[in-house]
Structure 1
Amino acid sequence: MRPGDALLLDAPGDALPLPQFTVVVTGIFRPVDGTDDYWAADPLILAPARAPTGDGGLRRLATALVAEDGYGALTGAFAGAGAPPPSSRPEVSGALTHAWRFVWDADRLQAADAAVLTAAVGRVQTAGTALAPFPVRVSTGLADLLDTHARAVAVTRSLDSVAYAGIAALAVLSMSLTVLVGTSQRRDRLRLVRARGASLTQVSLLLAAQTLAWVVPGAVVALVVAWVLVPDGGSPVPLLLAAATVVLPLLVVPWAVRAETRALHGPPARGRLHPAARLAPELAVLALTVLGVLALRRRGLAQAGQGGVDPYAALVPTLVALAVGLVVLRLYPYPIRWAASALARGSGLTAFLGTARAARARPASALPLLVLLLAVALSVFAGTVLSTVTGEQSRAAWRAVGADLRVDDPALTAEQVAALEAAAGVTAVVPAYRDAAGSVGPLRPVTVLGADPAAFASLLAGTPLTVDLPDLGGGGGRDDPLPAAVSTAVRADAALGTAGRLIRLDPRAAVPALQRGATAGEVLVLVPLADLAAVTGGGVEPTAVLVDLDGALGGGAGGDGRAGDPGADGNAESRVEALLGPSASRDVTSREEVRAAVADAPLPAHLRRAYGGTVVLAAGYSVVSVALLLALGAAERRAAISRLRTMGMRARDVRRLPAWEVLPLTVAALLPGVAVGLALPALLGPALDLAPFTGGPAEPPLRPDPLVTVALCLLVAGAAAIAVVLDAARGRRANLSSALRIGDQS
């Protein structure tokens, strides 16, 4: 096309009946930046395209720009041609649609602006004639986008709250255990202060002040670093969690001081504390857990009408783990005593001694068990969420594309199909006809897919869209009914509406597996492409190509990077364009790019970081809890080991003793922790919808991955092993004579 060319224009078949008229091309323009979002609203401005007509043919579509002073001539061409009457202004034609487009800058939009923008869009949509003296129709996809964003943010906050509550509980338990260890190591000094007349309150305040002197500076530094790295917008939640982590463990100080100085005042009077009173806290935790589970399944995690998260509901998964931990603690002594008695009959000393010491462990050893159990439960739950999101992202990408690569073009030629088939990295090519506006009897819209059934099934074998198709042979005649596989049952005499025709259908079978490649509620009809072309007299040509890849199209990294080499650019559209040439009517969709676009979006990426960090922190707290457990009984263990060494115990057996002390506790925490982690998705499933992170249908089921679960269990067990190794390394430096004097009274 050149300046001076005359074009004869007519209206599309589905538009108003307008006369043909001629326009003269006065100039050709080229965009400064063809990739700018401005051009996305109407791609035909940059290049013409061909579109199918109702009778199976093709028509050319293009968008032309008219100068302002040519507007009168354009409206005059519509005069007297059956166009709607003009508006109150005579220079405005009723046959034209006048549009004003407002572009928003997504880069400047922040989460805090979403509510303001939602309210503004709502006011514009309901303004009606208040916007102008003539009828105005407002069209925007921004409202749905903002609603989707709001739901996604709400789900993200819910998932975050579960992880943060669990990590905060781990921190509180670990800090409490640290207080107990510190109190135990100060036992002699505390007894001396108490013997000189200090009250329990005075000693507790002194110890709490010493603890705060070490903890508060570290907490302040951590908060400052966190606020610098992740600005929270003024939310008080991080400050409250930090304060709880520092303050709650101090409540253990009076109990720890009383336990360590009890020898000065003798044992407590018998009958002072009724057994039911000792059970009261545990029963309270169990009651809170049951009530929380019931409320969570009924109301969800969000606070009604406030857009936030219910703190009590967010604590329910943690309460479930703690409640199971309390039950395990009640049952824990019985199998340990049985194991110790069984090992006593064996010839080995280390296993028996370690198990016996574990059975006689202090009450404070309950905290490491709770930490390990909660860490395992959180890790397994986080792994289930991440594996579900990853799997659903992959399935959604397969559902959206239907192959590794799909090329849609109504003007597709046989030469282009052959070029794709011959390209490096391509293992299979399936030409297909696709009509998303078809019908089967009263069902509409129906997606009609014409392809070779055997090639189509082979392409999808081993993918989430795997399908077993019935025999679709026997057609092929112009007057024969068209054999078809349908995703849902249809009448045997139903007619297929596609390509502007009604075609007799021969539904061979209902194949629900076809629904995997369609959206919810969509009906998909698969027919042999050759038979469809024969029935329509050659009026149907392939409009899409499904491509199976082995690597990247054009050779991927193996490309030499030359201009025109499809392997020189990582973008699938540019690779196809380099292979087939440019086309404005072509749409290239890559399964991997669709998956990556969802996975790399801000909210899914945040979820991946948050729950990956949860797993790492859980493993870290496991190391800390086991190390503190070993430190809690380190003095008694070193004294026992030193005496055993003087009686001939080998150093190799000595190094194994801490492992045997920790092993029963680790096993007792690992198995129930895995059970809790696998049960949490069933408890939280109705309250969570991972669809905002997957790009797929709503409320996908949470599927635990066995390999991920085993790997996370090994991670926590490995963390406990690291703590044992560190304790053993510290024990090697202990002096035998000094260890023998530990605990001696002067």
Structure 2
Amino acid sequence: MPPREQGAPWVRTRLRAAPVATVAFGVLVLVTAFLAAVLPRAVEAYETDGLRAAVAGASPESTVLELKAVQPGLELPEKDRADEVLPKALKAVDGAARSLLPAPLRADPAESAYGVRTAKSLEAQEASLPRPDGLPPRFTLATQSGLAGHATVREGRLPAAKTPVTVDTRVVEGAVTAETARTLRLRTGSTLTLADFLDGPLTVRITGIVEPRHPQRSYWSAEPVLRTPGLTSTGSRLPMFYWEAGVLLAPGAAPALLGGQGEPEKYWRFAPATGRLTGSDTSALVEAVASLEDGPGLVRMRGAAGPTAQVSTGLEQIAGSYTQTLDAITPVVAVAAFGIAAVAVVVLVMSGGLAAARRDAELALLRARGGSLPGIAGRLLAEAAVPAVPAAACGLLLAVLVVDEGRPLPGVLGAGAVALLACAVLPVRAVMAHRRPRAHQERDDLAHARPGARRTVAELTLLVLAVGSVAALRRRGTETTGDLLVSAAPVLIGLVAALVLVRLYPLPLRWAAGPAGRLRGVVGFLSLAHAGRSPAAVATLPLLALLTALTTAAFGGSVLTGVADARDRAALLETGADVRISTTDGGPLPAGLARVVGEVAGVGQVVPVGVEFASERASDTTRSLTVVGAEPDSYAGLARQMGLGGFEADRLRSGGGVRDAVASPEVAERLGREPRRIMLPGGAVTVRITAVRPRTPAVPEGEFLLVDAAGLKDFRRPTVLLAAGAGLDAKALRAAVRGAGPELSVELRGEARAALSDSPLQSGAERIYVWAVAGSAGYALLALVLGLLRSAPERAALLARLRTLGLTARQGRRLLGLEALPQTLLAAGGGMAVGWATVGLLAPGVDLERLALPDASGVTAPGGAALRADVWSLALPAAGAVLLAGAVAVAQAWWAGRRTPITHLRAGDMR
């Protein structure tokens, strides 16, 4: 029979001989391939969501692409000038410019618009219009396309150009939004007489009042003055204010704007379509914007819109801010990826080692009978490939189904690498173990293992890499993207620690075996002696996996704890307490509000405070000073409870006309410790600073001076209400406050905390980190189980022999439990120590603020988001490893006790 026909039955036979092991190996490869494929897809998915959210969440003024060109030149005939600003010509340019947008920029047709507008607002001459400081309002005129599809007519009708409009036309129709009409006291039929036209003013007759359908979208918000009027300052030393508003003319009325001095300009606004943006498009997006603003893209746009056309947008700033956040997050997330990858590789190697150990006698016999290494390796490769390749393909398919976004190549490469490793580990381990035919099994236990020169060189190289990565991380931090050495620092520390512990592991076994041998019982001595004679690989690989996983878990737990602490602190500094209630204009609160709030479920403490502004005179200048008045006992208790500048209540006692005060460091430095007079709205007050605190609940950030409110008429009516309590009913609280007054603002610390984790980039990275740490812990425990299964036959045979000598079942359980204890305790204790040391070594180079706080929120955590060791992240995984090892040993002893010794003892068995 040809060799090809002989190979397949042999592979099939070997797989059928161990169906459970084959299925378990396939499941391991499937899970590992799934994780290797889904991780890059999930990272790309949250990066894509983050970019889309950054663009969609920014103001339309920043995101819209605006192409604009000056009015047609005066050298052209008036008819040609008018034709260039009519809707037909503008629409043609709009289509041409939209087709010239470079990828990945795409325009959203529903929110894009074009037209003609006055770059300089025009002054209205009607005396009936509101004039805050005596200055007439000014209006921006625009002939924006698509008004009928973006507004609902509330009164009248939309403007129209019933007769052809020319440069000399002086009466046109227009429409304003309901908010503009309400603010400027306009109605249907009103007229606006606008100056700055050569042959007399332009009259705009208001024919309709419209309501924007989507006021926050680009159509209305790219130029907010068309939607909402606003007060504008003259910008002088003594500023005066006037109203600035917008009027929408009929598109056909654009030629009338050419006859004035409002500097009319043509514009085309393209709202970006974010649905097709991906995280990998960030650099291309920045390049495309740069090309449009000052590059080849601008040259092409000028070919469509005219030689003076310009393109402006704020997309590059948005993409730049997103990139900075991503660059700060990626190295931290890469630590988790390195951790789970390292542990997964160890587990796959251990699975191959377990299979090679189970087949050791068979392979030794094949070699003794003339089997070649290539032939044996080829058969073993085929055995491993039959379950591994389909399992890896299923893992890749499952990853695609779970995360449908993302490029296929990274996932395929990850699953392919897992399949390659799974197929190669068994033949490689077998070839290394059977390079030479041997007559008997050589001893490879810890007591006699001597590391060779190659292993020493490899360990020293790994040590140098670990030292270099720690030094680089402490010096440069995590700001350098793509620096794999920096991201691998925790994993390298764990690997080096594992190798050091493996070298030191035999020493305590030898030291403890002597005293244990002098004890009356034999269980302790036998457990230590057998633990020392376990194969070196059985101790090395599980210890490697456990320490790497425990180090990654400790680092990951510390990261998550630091993120949570930073968010809690930032939320507290926004509100100053669990609840902050104030008026929208800073005025006094309604009487009885404190009693109403105190009756809400979950509210434990209510503290009313008054906030006023005093004048502080220093040398020749007068400065404004925030003064907080409160009842000393309740306020001091709240400050201690919130952890914001706690102090003793007697620091605010008053007497002899001088009021004691607590101040911020800046105020204390200016006023000193001697009594000083400050001017409150109700008169002068003398204060003496008795304590300095960096923050206080009423003013969480900024300078302040805290005094006793008793006896000061300025603080008889509180302006801020601070409340503390657990399990607050937010809905009931808002309902109670709403019943007390309509113009009250309610800020909840819990809502502020939740808002800080809404960013897709931060929440996605945090989610990836959690699952990666959990996966690495699972692989580490699986490595521990595989290590125990690797030596299970030897332990079962030992237990059977000892049972024939009178060992009881209880002693057998103690024996196996104590045998597994040294390695497990070493891994648990070493993992805790290494995890703690890793966090301490790397903390100076890791700033978690970008991961903790959304960049767009403008919120900061004082002192940054620091990395610190988390006790639970250190202790829980280590305790879990000890408990699992003990449970497996007890279960094995129970299972072996149910079987007769003859099952494990056979003639000629050398175990």
TM-score (norm 2): 0.63
Which stretch shifts more, 318-327 or 595-604? Answer: 595-604
Counterpart AA for 1:450: V
**Which residue does the alignment assign to 1:622?**
780
Deviations 1:572-602 (A, max 9, x none): 7x5466334543xx54322111111122432
Count, aligned residues: 676
Q: Tell me, yes or no, if structure 1 residue 513 matches structure 2 residue 702.
A: no
**Which residue does the alignment assign to 1:468?**
647
**Which residue does the alignment assign to 1:545?**
721
Shift of 1:673: 1.3
Q: Tell me, yes or no, if structure 1 residue 433 matches structure 2 residue 433.
A: no
* 1:168 paired residue among 341, 347, 350: 341
- Say if 1:598 and 1:693, in contact at 8 Å, map to a contact too: no
* 1:264 paired residue among 429, 439, 442: 439
Shift of 1:164: 1.0
Separation (CA, whole Å) in 1 of partners of 2:685 and 2:222: 39
- What SS does the aligned partner of 2:465 have? helix
**Which residue does the alignment assign to 2:875?**
710
Counterpart AA for 1:433: V
Q: Tell me, yes or no, if structure 1 residue 297 matches structure 2 residue 297.
A: no
Q: Residues 120-131 of structure 1 correspond to what in structure 2 (within 5 A)?
A: none
Shift of 1:122: 6.3
- Say if 1:180 and 1:253, in contact at 8 Å, map to a contact too: no
Change (3 A) 1:107 1:319: same
* 2:626 paired residue among 448, 455, 462: 448
Counterpart AA for 1:693: L
**Which residue does the alignment assign to 1:311?**
484
Counterpart AA for 2:563: V
- Say if 1:433 and 1:543, in contact at 8 Å, map to a contact too: yes
* 1:578 paired residue among 730, 735, 738: 738
Q: Residues 68-87 of structure 1 correspond to what in structure 2 (within 5 A)?
A: none
Separation (CA, whole Å) in 1 of partners of 2:621 and 2:836: 41
**Which residue does the alignment assign to 1:284?**
461
**Which residue does the alignment assign to 2:279?**
111
- Say if 2:630 and 2:707, in contact at 8 Å, map to a contact too: yes
Change (3 A) 1:229 1:517: farther
- Say if 1:421 and 1:429, in contact at 8 Å, map to a contact too: no
Separation (CA, whole Å) in 2 of partners of 1:539 and 1:126: 58
Shift of 1:200: 3.2
- What SS does the aligned partner of 2:723 have? strand
Q: Tell me, yes or no, if structure 1 residue 693 matches structure 2 residue 814.
A: no
Shift of 1:207: 2.4
**Which residue does the alignment assign to 1:397?**
571
Separation (CA, whole Å) in 2 of partners of 1:694 and 1:681: 18
Deviations 1:273-292 (A, max 9, x none): 99544422222221222233
Shift of 1:369: 1.1
Change (3 A) 1:110 1:278: closer
**Which residue does the alignment assign to 2:167?**
none
Which stretch shifts more, 181-190 or 228-237? Answer: 228-237
Change (3 A) 1:20 1:736: closer
Separation (CA, whole Å) in 2 of partners of 1:458 and 1:370: 50
Q: Tell me, yes or no, if structure 1 residue 491 matches structure 2 residue 680.
A: no
Shift of 1:517: 8.7
Change (3 A) 1:437 1:382: farther
Deviations 1:390-427 (A, max 9, x none): 11111110011111122342446656362354131333
Change (3 A) 1:618 1:112: closer
- Say if 2:594 and 2:606, in contact at 8 Å, map to a contact too: no
Shift of 1:301: 4.9
Change (3 A) 1:256 1:532: farther
Q: Tell me, yes or no, if structure 1 residue 407 matches structure 2 residue 588.
A: no
Separation (CA, whole Å) in 1 of partners of 2:808 and 2:277: 68
Separation (CA, whole Å) in 2 of partners of 1:493 and 1:61: 44
- What SS does the aligned partner of 1:448 have? strand
Separation (CA, whole Å) in 2 of partners of 1:103 and 1:540: 52
Shift of 1:529: 7.7
Counterpart AA for 1:456: Y
* Larger Rg over CA atoms: 2
Separation (CA, whole Å) in 1 of partners of 2:592 and 2:308: 54
Which stretch shifts more, 454-463 or 630-639? Answer: 454-463
Q: Tell me, yes or no, if structure 1 residue 650 matches structure 2 residue 811.
A: no
Shift of 1:737: 1.5
TM-score (norm 1): 0.75
Which stretch shifts more, 361-370 or 468-477? Answer: 468-477
Separation (CA, whole Å) in 1 of partners of 2:643 and 2:225: 36
Shift of 1:154: 1.8
Separation (CA, whole Å) in 2 of partners of 1:468 and 1:38: 53
Separation (CA, whole Å) in 2 of partners of 1:19 and 1:195: 106
Q: Residues 42-53 of structure 1 correspond to what in structure 2 (within 5 A)?
A: none
Counterpart AA for 1:448: T
Shift of 1:383: 1.0
Which stretch shifts more, 601-610 or 234-243? Answer: 234-243
After superposition, the CA RMSD in angstroms is 5.1
Percent of paired sites with the same residue: 29
Deviations 1:137-179 (A, max 9, x none): 9896x66554332222223321221111111111111111111
- Say if 1:321 and 1:377, in contact at 8 Å, map to a contact too: yes
**Which residue does the alignment assign to 1:739?**
904
- What SS does the aligned partner of 2:457 have? helix
Deviations 1:461-485 (A, max 9, x none): 22242422683454998xx899551
- What SS does the aligned partner of 2:534 have? coil
Separation (CA, whole Å) in 2 of partners of 1:227 and 1:191: 43
Q: Residues 530-609 of structure 1 correspond to what in structure 2 (within 5 A)?
A: 530=709, 534=713, 538=714, 543-552=719-728, 555=729, 566-567=731-732, 575=735, 578-583=738-743, 586-609=744-767
- What SS does the aligned partner of 2:555 have? helix
Deviations 1:172-207 (A, max 9, x none): 111111111111111221012101111334323432
- What SS does the aligned partner of 1:428 have? strand
Structure that is richer in strand per residue: 2
**Which residue does the alignment assign to 1:418?**
592
Change (3 A) 1:675 1:173: same
Change (3 A) 1:180 1:194: same
Separation (CA, whole Å) in 2 of partners of 1:496 and 1:108: 63
Separation (CA, whole Å) in 2 of partners of 1:302 and 1:412: 42
Which stretch shifts more, 160-169 or 115-124? Answer: 115-124
Counterpart AA for 1:451: G
**Which residue does the alignment assign to 2:512?**
339
Counterpart AA for 2:473: L
- Say if 2:639 and 2:647, in contact at 8 Å, map to a contact too: no
Which stretch shifts more, 689-698 or 157-166? Answer: 689-698
Change (3 A) 1:325 1:743: farther
* 2:187 paired residue among 20, 26, 41: 26
- What SS does the aligned partner of 2:626 have? strand
**Which residue does the alignment assign to 2:500?**
327
Separation (CA, whole Å) in 2 of partners of 1:198 and 1:445: 94
- Say if 1:482 and 1:504, in contact at 8 Å, map to a contact too: no
Structure 2 stretches of 5 or more lacking a match? 1-126, 139-182, 189-208, 232-240, 444-449, 854-859
Separation (CA, whole Å) in 2 of partners of 1:712 and 1:444: 60
Shift of 1:735: 4.2
**Which residue does the alignment assign to 1:526?**
705
Shift of 1:370: 1.0
- What SS does the aligned partner of 2:526 have? helix
Which stretch shifts more, 456-465 or 175-184? Answer: 456-465
* 1:613 paired residue among 771, 779, 790: 771
**Which residue does the alignment assign to 1:562?**
none
